[in-house]
Chains A and B, each alone.
Chain A
Amino acid sequence: MASHDPEARLSHLQSADGSATFSHAGYTVVGAVNGPIEVQRRDELPEEAVVDVIVRPAAGVGGTRERHLESLLQSTLRQIILINNFPRTLIQVTLQVTVSPENEYVNAKLSQAATNLPILPTLIQTALLALLSAAIPLTATVTAAVLAIVADDGASTIIVDPTAREIQVSRSLHVFAFTSRDELLLNESEGEFTMQEWDNAFATAQRQCCPAPTSDDVDMEGGSQADLKNFTRSTLETKTASDLYWK
C-alpha cells in the first residue's frame, strides 16, 4: 500500500506566495497560491476577495472538464477562506496535475479522461496545503476522500481510494469533503446507487476524513488508509519546526 501513502512538500516554489506538492492515490499535483493580490477591475467584488482557481491537466490544455473542476474547487475554497477579510482583492490558486494514474485495461485518451471525480480529493488537498503555505487565513481545513461501491454478486463493498481499474468496474463513485468541524462541504456522486448505499458511503467517508480526536493510535489499528487530517497537521508541524530551527 506504499503508493497510497500521502506525501507532501511545502513552500518549494520560490516566486509564489505559497506552494505545495501533494501525492496521494496515484495522483501528484503541484499547487501555487498567490494572494491577496490586485484584482482585475471587472472581477472585483466590493465586500470579499475573489477566489480564482486554475486547474491544468497532466497532458494537453485544459478543457470543459477542467472548468467544471475549477468551479467545484472555487465554490469549496470560498467557504473555507476568510474572503471577507480581503475585500477587493484576488486569491489565485493554480493547480498543475503532474502525475495521474493510468488504466492499463483501456486505450486511454489524453484529452477526455474517463471521469472527473477521482482527482478531486487530491486537488482539494493540494489547494489546502498551498493555502496554508501562503498563510491565507482559513475558517477550517478540509479533508476529502473518494470511494467506489463495487457490486460483488449481490453484496456491495465500499473501496476507499479505488484504483483506475476498480473505478471502471464500480457501480457508483463518490467524493466527499469534510471541514475540520466534521461538516459535509462537498459531495459528488455518480453511477447508480440507492440512498441507503449513499448513507453507507457517507459514514465510511466520515470515518475516513473525521477520525475521532482521541484516537492517537490510529495507525496502530492496521488501517491501510491514510488519515489525511492528521497528515495535514503533521506536515505543517514539521515544516514550522524546520523553519524555526535557527532560533
Chain B
Amino acid sequence: MATSSSLTLSSATFSKLSPHPYLLANLQASDSSSPSARTNGRLPQQARQPYINTSSLSHAHGSAVVRTGDTTVICGVRGETLLTSAVPNYRAPDDSSGATLNEARDYDLLVPNIELATGCAPNFLPGVPPTTLAQTLSTRVYSLLHSSKLLNVSGLRIYQKDGSELSGRQRGNEAMEEDDEGDSTITERAVKAYWVLYIDVLFISFDGNPFDAAWAAILAALQDTKLPQAYWDPDREMVLCSPKKRLPLTLSGFPVATTAAVFTAKEKPKKGGGQYWILVDPDRLEEGLCDETVTIVVDCPKEGTKVLGISNHGGTVVGPVLMKELAKAAESRWNDFRKAVS
C-alpha cells in the first residue's frame, strides 16, 4: 500500500481492484488479539441469520420468502391436476410391491424451476437464456427433492369419490388400505389423477449462497402449501375440488442445506499445504474468490442427525476430518432455520 495519503486506497476501491488480497488481509489478523473476520464482518464459521415469511402470495397454494443477508428468494408452489389417463405408460401404484415405482419421478409430479431475476446481481443480464448457474441450481433442487423423499406422494393422489363421505378421506384411505387388501377396494380406490406441484423460485436479490436460500424457500413454501381437497367425479368425468376444505402436504423431515466455501491464502494453491479458511454461507464476493465449495444437507430429528446429501467439488482441501466439522456447522444452521420457520 502506498505511503502517501493521496495514493491511499479506500477499502471499497481496494476490494474492487484486488479482491483476493483484500479478503486475505481481512482474514489474516494483524495481531493475535483480534480474531480474523471476513470483509462482511462475520467470523469464518458464522452464517447469516435467516428470516422466513410465509403465505405472502395470494394466488399460489403455498409460498415463502426467505432472506439471508442480502440474498432474498421468493418461492411459490402451485398445484395442477394431471389425469392418469393422460400419462403414457401409466402403472397403477401398488403399495405392497415397494420401491420399484417412484410416481413423483416417473410422472414428473414435482416441477421446480429457479429463475435469477434481471437486476438481482450485476452479472445477470436481461434477455439471455437461463444461465448455467440457474440450470445447475434447478437440477440440484430437483435431485434433492427426489433423493430426500421429502414429499409423501400419497398426498398427491386424487381418488374417485366413493360412497363414503369426503371428510377425513385422506386418513380413511390409508387406514382402509392397511386393514383390507381386497381387490374390490383397490379397484374402487383407483388413482384417477395426481396433483403436480409447480415450484417456482425467483431470486429478488442475490448475494451469494443461492442453493441454501432457494432450498429453504422451497421447504418453507411446501410446508405452507395447502391443496384443495380434490376427487374424481365419475359422472362428469372430471376432477372436482371442494371449495372449503384445504389439506396441507405431508412432509417427511426438515432438511436444511449449508454451504461453505474454502478460501486459500494463495490465489493458485500449490500441491498440499497452504493456509485456508472455511467460510460458511459465503457472499458474492467470497464465492467469486473460492474454487472449492461444500454443501451438506442435514436433518436433525430427535432420533439423531441424518445427512441427505453432500456435494463437494472444486478443490482438495476438504477431507474426512473437515467434512465432519462442517456437518457440525450444518447442525447449528439447521437450528437457525428451524427457529426461523416457527
List the interface of chain A (C-beta within 8 A of B). Answer: 64-65, 67-68, 70-72, 75-76, 78-79, 84, 105-107, 109, 112, 114-116, 139-140, 168-169, 173, 179, 181, 183-195, 198-199, 202
Q: How many interface residues does B have (CB within 8 Å)? A: 44
B318 contacts A184, CB within 8 Å?
yes
Overall SS of chain B's interface: mixed
CA distance A67 to B315 in the complex (A): 20
Known: A183-B319, A193-B306. A68 touches B100 (CB 8 A): no
Chain A residues with CB under 8 A of B108: 112
At the interface, yes or no: B99 with Cβ under 8 Å from chain A? yes
> B313 touches which one: A76, A190, A195 (CB < 8 A)?
A76
CB distance from A68 to the nearest CB of B (A): 4
CA distance A70 to B77 in the complex (A): 29
A106 contacts B312, CB within 8 Å?
no
In the A-B complex, the 6 residue pairs with the closest CB atoms: A183-B316, A75-B314, A68-B139, A67-B135, A190-B147, A189-B310
B89 contacts A107, CB within 8 Å?
yes
Known: A169-B99, A187-B311. A68 touches B140 (CB 8 A): yes
> A106 touches which one: B106, B143, B313, B318 (CB < 8 A)?
B106
Chain A residues with CB under 8 A of B102: 106
> A189 touches which one: B105, B307, B316 (CB < 8 A)?
B307
A187 contacts B308, CB within 8 Å?
no
B106 contacts A109, CB within 8 Å?
yes
Chain B residues with CB under 8 A of A140: 271
A75 contacts B327, CB within 8 Å?
no
Chain B residues with CB under 8 A of A188: 310-313
CB distance from B130 to the nearest CB of A (A): 8
At the interface, yes or no: B115 with Cβ under 8 Å from chain A? no
Chain B residues with CB under 8 A of A78: 291, 314
B310 contacts A116, CB within 8 Å?
no
> B307 touches which one: A64, A181, A185, A193 (CB < 8 A)?
A193
15 further A-B pairs in the complex, CB-CB below 8 A; given A179-B316, A183-B319: A64-B138, A65-B139, A112-B105, A181-B316, A184-B316, A186-B312, A187-B310, A188-B310, A191-B308, A192-B308, A193-B307, A194-B304, A194-B306, A194-B307, A195-B327
